């Protein structure tokens, strides 16, 4: 888990104790522990799903369509084409997490440098703010609609649309944390010492902004998971027959009266993943809050 | 104050101009000849030539852009490739549905979110708070289109409480209209309600521990009066802020909700247009969304300075 390796340079020599304190707070919060375990399990299943899925996700079996959950050989039943629902959920979760990670990575790669620049250089602030305003004017679904019109619908385009839509949020938190850090003595000392702007940003500001970036990422991932589900459901994301929780729900909608479980299960998985990330994100934010145990 | 509003107006205008450029260039980024894309079925050389001339595609880009802005300003968004109907008249029928759905969703979300948020703050550390917090987390995590599917499956199809799809215009049959739109509005409002609840709760907690509330209590004001006064004022700010911030999510959500419930609104029009490669419609949809976002957020800022006097002094939303 990346939390363990986050450098907490702000506290200087006492940095280790801060990290230990954050970890201790997380360990003592039962919600944090449960959500972490759920996420770790989901990550393992998602990583290994191509090998541990009980059936081939594309394997149709027209003699056994709409088998209910509990059917021997098909723990969660089969869909309208007789494909194994459990296998498709496992691979679908893998796709969801992949899109979410791609999207959040995109937003961080573009958003973090812009946020740092906007907070650190006064002259850049106005330009970057207008850029943020511009991005905000295109909601992710509309962005996805535009991208799909220009480049066609795909997993990558879904991730790009979600990622672009998340850039303003990243810029906002990184910018305000940079403003805060810039006013602190150790940054001023580095500047007086003759350090270049780039050096100050890379060595002093960025490492200390990691905790807000981390919290932002844990909030952004569940939003991206929901975004992927929406886009795939609408046909703007992952294209059938590739398994995706969103497309599973889209096809289940047509047969919902006949096979209601097919409409329930993928949704439960999406919600479970998003909920685990949101709960863990809340716990992480509380644990990182220097005001500590007040909340 | 005036200076702040002028700056905001200038920024909004600039953003509007930039987004128009983006939308304009977006159509030029379409694979192949835009005239081909705009022509639809009739691809005779004469038709293509007429389209090139009508859209000024034979002119230099800056002139094309000026012509585009001129047409849009007059409400001319072109003609749907698929139906041959002017996009503007498609919008006239679709937009009221979406606006009604969104406003109802905001109202429901505000009522629910503010109520639960105040309750959670006042009943701190008791089961009511845990319940409200838990529900808010679920509300943030649930894919609301899935909730919509389940609602149709169990409330509409199985229990027959609501119509599963379709729409009746408000002016034609107000009761029937409400019957069709209330379930989609509840579904669309869930995520928003969760966000409003969490913000209201933390704003209330902060207000309750602030000096002026302590003073009010010390003066002997009844706790209920303190809570009501502050809850009302703060929650108004919270709701306005969240609606401004979450407008993009609300628009995206409306698109999906309309698709699930078969409401003939802006969202359904958008999705249909994507699959039919109806570029004039897509272009209009994207541009209008951006414009709505920018204009509404400017209005939110105006409203802010009315509700919260501090902003007039500092010039920055709190």
In this complex, do B145 and A138 lie within 8 Å of one another by their Cβ atoms? no
Query: Could you tell me if residue B242 is inside a domain?
Result: yes
Verify that B66 and B104 share a domain, yes or no.
no
Verify that B68 and B206 share a domain, yes or no.
no
Q: Which of A48-62, A164-178, B229-243, B246-260 has the lowest mean pLDDT?
A: B229-243
The pLDDT confidence band at residue B63, using thresholds 50, 70 and 90, is confident
Provide the CA A158 distance to its chain's centre, in angstroms. Answer: 13
Verify that B116 and B70 share a domain, yes or no.
no
Percent of chain A with pLDDT over 90: 28
Q: How far apart are the first and last CA of chain A?
A: 25
Verify that B168 and B129 share a domain, yes or no.
yes
Verify that B55 and B119 share a domain, yes or no.
no
Provide the CA A64 distance to its chain's centre, in angstroms. Answer: 36
Domain span at residue B61 reads 32-74
The pLDDT confidence band at residue A276, using thresholds 50, 70 and 90, is very high
Q: What is the CA radius of gyration of chain B?
A: 24
Structural domains counted in chain B:
2
The residue with tokens 């989901």 is A42
A278 in contact with B, Cβ within 8 Å: yes
Residues sharing a CB contact under 8 Å with residue A195, sequence separation 6 or more, in sequence order: A203, A204
pLDDT at residue B232 in the model: 67
Query: Could you tell me if residue B83 is inside a domain?
Result: no
SS3 content of chain B, % helix, strand, coil (to 5): 80, 0, 20
Q: At the fourth CATH level, which superfamily is domain A23-52+84-293?
A: MetI-like (1.10.3720.10)
Verify that B160 and B211 share a domain, yes or no.
yes
Verify that B167 and B240 share a domain, yes or no.
yes
More confident residue, B277 or A8: B277
Write out chain B residues lying below 8 Å of A234, CB-based.
255-256, 259, 271
ipTM surpassing 0.85, yes or no?
Answer: no
pLDDT in tens, B32-48: 666 776 676 677 888 88
Provide the CA A92 distance to its chain's centre, in angstroms. Answer: 15
Query: Could you tell me if residue B258 is inside a domain?
Result: yes
Q: Which of A89-93, A218-222, B41-45 has the lowest mean pLDDT?
A: B41-45
Instruction: Give the distance from residue A257's alpha carbon to the nearest chain B alpha carbon, in angstroms.
Output: 7
Mutate which of B24, B146, B245 to test chain A, going by most A C-beta atoms within 10 A?
B146
pLDDT at residue A12 in the model: 46
Give the global pTM: 0.85
Verify that B243 and B157 share a domain, yes or no.
yes
Mutate which of B121, B141, B246 to test chain A, going by most A C-beta atoms within 10 A?
B141
For A15, other C-beta atoms within 10 Å of its C-beta total: 14
Q: Which of B98-102, B115-119, B174-178, B197-201 has the lowest mean pLDDT?
A: B174-178
Instruction: Give the distance from residue A226's alpha carbon to the nearest chain B alpha carbon, in angstroms.
Output: 6
Q: CATH number, domain at B179?
A: 1.10.3720.10
Verify that B70 and B185 share a domain, yes or no.
no
Q: What is the mean pLDDT of residues A205-211?
A: 87
Pick left, alpha or beta for residue B166 (phi over 0 → left; psi -120 to 50 → alpha; otherwise beta). left
Rounded Cα–Cα distance for residues B95 and A253 (Å): 26
DSSP structural state of residue B162: S
List the 108-147 stretch of A: residues with Cβ below 8 A of B. Answer: 129-130, 133-134, 136-142, 145-146
Which of B74, B105, B129 is the C-terminal boundary of a domain? B74
Structure tokens at A123: 């002259």
Mean pLDDT of chain A: 84
In terms of CA atoms, which chain B residue is nearest residue A136? B248
Cα dihedral angle (A173, A154, B248, A109), rounded to 10 degrees?
Answer: 10
The pLDDT confidence band at residue B310, using thresholds 50, 70 and 90, is low
pLDDT in tens, A126-147: 899 899 989 988 888 888 888 8
- Enumerate the domain spans of chain A: 23-52+84-293
């Amino acid at each position: 888990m990346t939390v363990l390796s986050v450098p907490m340079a702000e506290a200087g020599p006492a940095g280790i104790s801060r990290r230990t304190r954050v970890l201790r707070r997380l360990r003592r919060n039962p919600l944090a522990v449960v959500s972490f375990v759920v996420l770790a399990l989901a990550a393992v299943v998602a990583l290994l799903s191509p090998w541990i899925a009980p059936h081939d996700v594309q394997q149709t079996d027209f003699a056994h369509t709409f088998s209910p959950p509990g059917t021997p050989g098909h723990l969660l039943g089969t869909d309208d084409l007789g494909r194994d629902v459990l296998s498709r959920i496992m691979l679908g979760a893998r796709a969801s997490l992949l899109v979410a990670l791609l999207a959040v990575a995109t937003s961080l790669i573009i958003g973090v440098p812009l946020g740092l620049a906007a907070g650190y250089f006064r002259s850049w602030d106005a330009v970057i703010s207008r850029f943020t305003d511009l991005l905000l004017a295109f909601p992710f679904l509309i962005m996805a609609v535009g991208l799909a019109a220009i480049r066609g619908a795909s997993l990558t385009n879904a991730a790009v649309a979600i990622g672009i839509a998340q850039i303003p949020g990243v810029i906002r938190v990184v910018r305000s944390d940079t403003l805060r850090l810039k006013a602190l003595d150790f940054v001023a000392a580095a500047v007086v010492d003759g350090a270049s702007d780039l050096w100050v940003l890379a060595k002093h500001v960025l490492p200390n902004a990691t905790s807000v970036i981390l919290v932002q990422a844990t909030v952004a991932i569940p939003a991206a998971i929901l975004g992927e589900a929406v886009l795939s459901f609408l046909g703007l994301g992952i294209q059938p027959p590739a398994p995706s929780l969103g497309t599973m729900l889209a096809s289940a909608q047509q047969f919902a009266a006949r096979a209601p479980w097919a409409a329930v299960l993928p949704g439960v998985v999406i919600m479970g993943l998003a909920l685990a990330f949101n709960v863990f994100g809340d716990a992480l934010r509380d644990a990182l809050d220097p005001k500590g145990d007040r909340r | 104050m005036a200076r702040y509003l002028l700056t905001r107006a200038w920024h909004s205008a600039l953003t509007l101009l930039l987004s128009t450029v983006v939308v304009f260039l977006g159509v030029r980024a379409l694979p192949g000849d835009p005239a081909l894309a705009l022509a639809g079925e009739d691809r005779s050389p004469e038709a293509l030539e007429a389209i090139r001339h009508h859209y000024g595609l034979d002119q230099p880009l800056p002139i094309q852009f000026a012509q585009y802005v001129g047409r849009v300003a007059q409400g001319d968004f072109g003609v749907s490739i698929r139906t041959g109907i002017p996009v503007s008249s498609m919008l006239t029928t679709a937009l009221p549905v979406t606006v009604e759905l969104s406003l109802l969703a905001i109202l429901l979300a505000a009522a629910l979110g503010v109520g639960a948020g105040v309750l959670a703050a006042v009943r701190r550390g008791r089961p009511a708070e845990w319940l409200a917090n838990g529900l808010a987390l679920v509300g943030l995590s649930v894919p609301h289109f899935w909730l919509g599917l389940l609602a149709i499956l169990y409330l509409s199809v199985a229990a027959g409480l609501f119509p599963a799809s379709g729409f009746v215009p408000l002016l034609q049959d107000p009761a029937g209209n409400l019957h069709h739109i209330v379930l989609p509005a509840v579904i669309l409002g869930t995520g928003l309600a969760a966000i409003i609840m969490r913000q209201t709760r933390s704003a209330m907690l902060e207000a309750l521990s602030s000096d002026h509330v302590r003073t009010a209590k010390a003066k002997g004001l009844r706790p209920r009066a303190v809570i009501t006064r502050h809850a009302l004022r703060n929650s108004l700010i919270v709701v306005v802020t969240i609606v401004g911030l979450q407008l993009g999510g609300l628009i995206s959500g409306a698109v999906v909700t309309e698709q699930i419930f078969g409401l003939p609104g802006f969202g359904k029009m958008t999705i249909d247009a994507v699959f039919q490669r109806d570029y004039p419609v897509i272009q209009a949809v994207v541009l209008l969304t951006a414009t709505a976002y920018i204009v509404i957020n400017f209005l939110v800022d105006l409203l802010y300075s009315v509700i919260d006097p501090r902003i007039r002094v500092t010039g920055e939303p709190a």
